[in-house]
Amino acid sequence: MAKFNGHKNWNHWNVSLWLNNDEGLHRLARYYVSTCGNKDAAASLMLRHLKEEAGFTKTPDGAPYSVSSIRAAMVEM
């Protein structure tokens, strides 16, 4: 059952907010979804990119990126 603005928790909501409203992050997420074939693999690659290549472990609001939060943000992609 959704508990925070239609999401599982604040972390999932905040990651979704950033991935779906920041143009660069949104384009990157859509790229991974379209090239990976499934959203679980896309979320794993997105997390690796965010941490290793971009140096981001959290959203600007402090929500940590995780495979599950990124996967949840990809629902509509």
Tokens standing for 63?
A: 């929500």
The stretches of the chain forming alpha helices (DSSP H) are 10-21, 23-36, 39-48, 67-73
What is the helix (H) or strand (E) element at residue 14, kind and residue range?
A: helix 10-21
- Reply yes or no on whether the pLDDT at 20 is more than 80: yes
Q: Is the pTM of this model over 0.85?
A: yes
Tokens standing for 45?
A: 């690659």
Q: What is the pLDDT of residues 47-64, one digit of tens each?
A: 999 999 999 999 999 999
Separation of CA 75 from chain center = 10
